[in-house]
Amino acid sequence: MKVLVSDAFSSEGLEVLRKNVEVDYQPEIEPHELVDKIKQFDALVVRSRTKVTAEVIEAGKNLKVIGRAGVGVDNIDVDKATEKGIIVVNAPHGNTISAAEHAIALLTSLARNIADANRSVKQGEWKRSDFTGVELNQKTLGIIGIGRIGSEVARRARAMEMKIITYDPYISKEQAEKIGIEMVSLEDLFKQADFITLHVPMSSSTYHMIGEKEIAMMKPGVRIVNCARGGLIDEDALCRGLQEGKVAGAALDVFEQEPPGECNLLECSNVIVTPHLGALTREAQTNVALQVSEQIINALQGKQVVSAVNVPALLPETKAAIGPFLPLMKMMGSFYFQVFGGSVDEIDITYSGEIASMPFAPLTTSCLVGFLQHVVGDSVNWVNAPYITKGRGIAVREISTTAIKNYSNLVTMTARSGSEEHIISATRLNGDMRIVRVDDYRTEIIPSTYMLLITCKDQPMIVGKVGTLLGENNINIASMQSGRKKAGGTAAMALQTDEKIPDETLKKVKELDDIKSAFFLYMPKSILMDQ
Ligand code: NAD
Ligand code: MLT
């Protein structure tokens, strides 16, 4: 087996690879050379310099695995690799401490104007009072995203006697209490924090999560650290915030474009910048190199690969048995998340009927993928979903029973967070997906791309009121199903629409008399399509 390492890579990682495979180490290779040479190799190992484009992947006729020595796989065309059945692995843990320490370094530098003071002294100046700083002691640090890195930042900031508040909608209150952190809403975090640090992944829900509106909510004199991903902050809005003095300073390790080129932020004196150094320590580079090398060897030897971020197709015999249930499970996970939220400690999946005798582990994982993709974005798939779930402290149990009442197959997802519990059951009826239970409601919901789910008083006119409101807002209803606990009690209604329901329209639906709750659900084709 031959492995090409096309970026600078630690000697410890190279040693592990060389013990097992033939290694060609070319850390300076040019893009066109890479395309020419790649067909000889079974595996490619990169950091962030090499761009593993569709062209490289197409040319890699023998490629079986691509390894990224780091967390983010933004420099790899993962979709193309998946299409070609090439496993992509990363090293999610190796640089956690280094990234957390860099965030703390930026935080302290920001408080004490280290970068500007350093420049000034080197220019022969001695302007002490110009660089008067602020203490961190007793200041409020708002941490957005309390995953691996956010938690390590919290531990370190607590040692500096900062008051810590955090926003992470996917961590349960119990988990936060365990690590002794106060959870607040994002708005409250903006209003209370003296310092804000971001530790969330880049996804459609986090892109530009700090913009003009959010900066307006912040305390005057707030200081912001971003050591996660550039696109999380709208750089133009931050620039205005700094120029207007609302934001006292910002420390940025990452940029929307890297390198940032002619970015206005670089002109601001109250901005500290580093060239994406979060993971750049000897220790982290050794850790990630060792982790990724081990995964590469495992993948080449056909062993389990725990940090795969994509996956090749299912074995044909498994696919034939469980194929139709894979999208059903993914839909259930996504449905649960969109209706009940992502803060859960336990998930039970009960397989009843014929399905109970099928190999259902991939089905459970497919449900977790549907759930987790709202949390971690596209990097989750059915290879790494159980691993990510475990890392988030969520216990998953599978229960199987051949006993069944009304359906030949039924899958039930029951999830709990503390004393709160929610249940969804789904099945396939004549090949079509149906959600047949939502908590205590018996339903016949047909999942579709755009859905409005309502609970309301079980009485005449409600359907008409909702239909009229949607019609007035040019939203066409394609179909509708309803279910209830008992006549005259509470009813659940699902309406399939031809287009997205905008937030303002959803708000108006919620304000209608007798509506108890209303959710807009979006199920992209990637969830609903058979795989
Ligand atoms: P993680 O998955 O352990 O934690 C991310 C956390 O963000 C999770 O707890 C998740 O629930 C939370 N989250 C997701 N969406 C959110 C939202 N909309 N609002 C609030 N919280 C949300 O990941 P990690 O290892 O801690 O890494 C975090 C980020 O740091 C990643 O983007 C990673 O690429 C980046 N990173 C940067 C460097 C660097 O060199 N600067 C180094 C390592 C990692
Ligand atoms: C990562 O995603 O691991 C970090 O951003 C570091 C890097 O890109 O090397």
Cα distance between residue 447 and residue 127, in whole Å: 66
Residues 291 and 316 in one domain: no
Contact indicator for 363, 329 with CB cutoff of 8 Å: yes
Are residues 351 and 420 located together in one domain of the fold? yes
Note whether 13 and 148 are same-domain residues. no
Work out the percent of the chain whose per-residue pLDDT is above 90: 69
In a domain, 411, yes or no: yes
In a domain, 27, yes or no: yes
Cα-to-centroid distance, 145 and ligand 1 (Å): 6
Residues 6 or more apart whose CB falls under 8 angstroms from that of 448 comprise 478, 479, 496, 523, 528
Do 432 and 293 share a structural domain? no
Same domain membership, residue 322 and residue 266: no
C-alpha closest to that of 331 among 82, 525, 83, 79: 525
Query: Does the C-beta of 170 come closer than 6 Å to ligand 1?
Result: yes
Do 322 and 394 lie in a common domain? yes
- Is 465 inside any structural domain? yes
Cβ neighbours for 27, distance < 8 A, ≥ 6 positions apart: 5, 6, 7, 8, 9
Residue 530 lies in a domain: no
Tell me if 26 is assigned to some domain.
Answer: yes
Into how many domains does the chain fold?
4
Q: Rounded distance, CA 275 to CA 270, Å?
A: 17
pLDDT of residue 530: 58
The Cα 492–Cα 517 span in angstroms is 9
Q: Which atom of ligand 1 is nearest to the CA of 206?
A: 18
CATH code at position 513: 3.30.70.260
Clarify whether residues 185 and 221 are in a common domain: yes
Higher pLDDT, 432 or 310: 432
Contact 136, 162 (CB under 8 A): yes
Q: Are 202 and 294 contained in the same domain?
A: no
- For ligand 2, the distance from its centroid to the CA atom of residue 10, given in whole angstroms, is 15
Cis amide linkage into residue 259, ω under 30° from 0: yes
Condensed to tens digits (0 to 9), the pLDDT of residues 57-72 reads 999 999 999 999 998 8
Domain check: are 109 and 255 in the same one?
yes
Residues of the domain holding 81: 2-94+283-300
At 332, the pLDDT band (50, 70, 90 cuts) reads: very high
Positions marked catalytic: 229, 258, 276
pTM: 0.72
Contact 91, 287 (CB under 8 A): yes
The CATH number covering residue 381 comes to 3.30.1330.90
Same domain, 288 and 250: no
pLDDT of residue 382: 66
For residues 179-186, average pLDDT: 90
* φ/ψ (deg, to 5) at 527: -90, -40
CATH of the domain at 9: 3.40.50.720
Residue 531 lies in a domain: no
Note the helical H segments in 44-93: 54-59, 78-83
* Ligand 2 first shell, C-beta below 6 A: 47-48, 70-72, 95, 278-279
399-423 average pLDDT score: 90
Identify each DSSP E strand in 83-131 by its residue range: 87-89
**pLDDT confidence tier of residue 73, bands split at 50, 70 and 90:** confident
Mark whether 140 and 102 lie in a shared domain.
Answer: yes
Same domain, 332 and 452: no
For residue 387, give the ligand nearest its CA: 1
Banded model confidence at residue 379, pLDDT cuts 50, 70, 90: low
Contact 472, 481 (CB under 8 A): no
Q: Evaluate whether residue 321 is within a structural domain.
A: yes
What is the CA(201)–ligand 1 centre distance, in A?
Answer: 4
Neighbours of 471 (CB within 10 A): 11
- Whether 305 is covered by a domain: the verdict is no
- Residue, of 9 and 407, whose pLDDT is higher: 9
pLDDT at 315: 57
